[in-house]
Each structure stands twice: as structure tokens, then as C-alpha cells.
Amino acid sequence: MRIGEIVPDLELSVYRHNIIETIKLSQYAGKWVILFFYPGDFTFVCPTELEELAQFYPQFKKEQAEIISLSTDSVYVHKAWHDTSPGIAKIQFPMAADQNGKIAKLFGIYLEEEGVALRGTFIIDPDRRLVGIEVNGNSVGRSSKELLRKLTAFKFVREHPGNVCPASWTKEKKSLKPGLDLVGKL
């Protein structure tokens, strides 16, 4: 998948709210979706990322976004992790199983020799168009605060055509209008 491409209507087996179910991306039509890949349950860095994401989840919901975490673990492993870890028990978003790595392969982040995904974050707009990608090696965790900032920036430019967001842009800062912001500065 590349920026600007339409993400297929993926069907995912998920664990959420003590229920194992199947969901499709089309269920989130009109919403933003964040696919949050991580290497595996019961590891070291992954719980720190997912616990932080759980803390920020209400803020993502306010932005009309759904988070779906994915690893190559089964939904039963997700349930066991959720049942035994106080931090993971706080997760309210769907935890998807990508046991054969099919979805991680689609996004180009599957490590064949290890059978796990890289730390990949994919922001999908309400039209299922891929607008943001972040991929890290598995030894370095991501920031939920920065992910939320990026989401709000993508939402802003979607809602305000012709605007762009400079480095470290937040809602409190001024956006730019290419062309117009250069007038009188040359």
C-alpha cells in the first residue's frame, strides 16, 4: 500500500470487550481508521505502546477515529494477554489477529524470517484512502501523542482544502496556504 491508494475492505478477526468477532473496514465508513501493527503480545515494547494508546483512545474517538491494533498473534492470545495484564486490560479498541501475516504483507511490513510485523502505523481517511504511514524497527516504540497530532493535521487539511500544516503543527498554530503565504515575501 502506498500513500493515496484505497485500502481494500479488509476483514479482520478481533478481540474486543471480551468478545471475539469479525469486522470489516467498511463498518467504519465515514470515520478515520488507524491500523497499528506491532510484533507480538507478551513482549517488552509492545505493551508500553498499547497501554499509551489506550490512554489516548478517548481523544482519538473525539476525532472520529477508530484504532485497530494488529499482530500475528491469534485472537485467543490477545484475550489471554488482556486477561492477565492490567495495562492491556484497559484497551477498548479492537485487537486484530493477522496470523498468516497477510495484512502486514499487504502494507509491506512483514518480516518473513521472524513471522512478525514491523511497528507500522497507517492512517486511513473516511474514504479508505491511505494518507499517513510510519514504520519503525521493532526496538523503538511510537508516540500516541504524535500520532494524534498527525491525525488532527490530516483532518484539518481534508476539511480546509488548499491548506498545509508545517512541522509540529497543532490546532492552536497557523496553517499555510501555498502561494498565498509567499505573496509579498519575495
Residues labelled as active-site residues: 46
Residue entry with cell 493477522 = 98
Cβ atoms of 164 and 175 closer than 8 Å:
yes
What is the SS3 assignment for 54?
helix
* Separation between Cα atoms, residue 78 and residue 42, nearest integer Å: 9
How many residues in total does the chain contain?
Answer: 186
- Which residue intervals of 73-136 are DSSP H helices? 75-84, 102-106
C-alpha cell at 20: 471475539
Which of the 8 DSSP states describes residue 129?
B
* Short-list 14, 5, 16, CA closest to 108: 5
CB 5 within 8 A of CB 11: no
Q: What angle do CA 8, 14, 20 make, to 5 degrees?
A: 140
